[in-house]
Amino acid sequence: MIIGVTLASVVIGILASLMGYGGDTSNTSSVVASDQPKETAIPFTKVVEGTQSTVTTRVNYLITSSVGLSKLWKMVDATSTPPAVDFNTHAVIAVFAGQRPTTGYAIKVSEVLDSTSRLVSITVAKPDSDCMTGQSLTAPYEIVVVPATSLPFAHEDQVITTTCTN
């Protein structure tokens, strides 16, 4: 039994040493940092933006086919033809702010980052309550093209209040 306990202690000591658990913690943070996936900024191209769409709720769409792009184009009441997109190498992201009671609202893709997922950062702007805004229903949107990926998509919204330009 004493031999078993001694052997187990030696094995645990060797494993702890190999895995970085020991008295010297000077390189522990570098081990942890190197295990973290690096974020890579992904370029994107704005296709179109506007303030009038048929989408009344805050929603995002990932379009991966020309059929989907044609449906999306109808949602933004575009009179032009949809852009040519090679869906073998690219995808389309559409962000909608939903219906708003006045002018002064906007939405845009501000950044796209890849790590363990493709994170789309979206800025949703609303006018300051002191601003004079037109009393007209709006439904802001933006559509961008990004390189295709097999990563899962995620998004984060940042809501900002814009100051008056009067």
Asked whether the beta carbons of 159 and 127 are under 8 A apart, the reply is: no
Tokens describing residue 59: 């929603």
Name the residue among 30, 19, 72 with its Cα closest to residue 47.
72
Q: What is the pLDDT along the chain (166 residues), one digit of tens a residue?
A: 444 434 344 444 443 443 444 444 344 434 445 566 789 999 999 999 999 889 999 999 999 999 999 999 988 877 788 999 999 999 999 999 999 988 888 999 999 999 999 999 999 998 888 777 777 888 999 999 999 999 999 999 999 888 876 5
pLDDT at 15: 38
CA–CA separation, 51 and 106 (whole Å): 7
Kind plus residue range of the DSSP H or E element containing 124: strand 118-127
Q: Are the beta carbons of 120 and 79 closer than 8 angstroms?
A: no
* Percentages of the chain per state (helix, strand, coil), in multiples of 5: 20, 35, 45
pLDDT at 123: 96
Model pTM score: 0.74
- Per-residue tokens: 100: 């708003």
CA 139 and chain centroid, separation: 20
Cα separation, 52 vs 65, whole angstroms: 23
Write down the pLDDT at residue 25: 39
CA pair distance 123, 121, nearest whole angstrom: 7
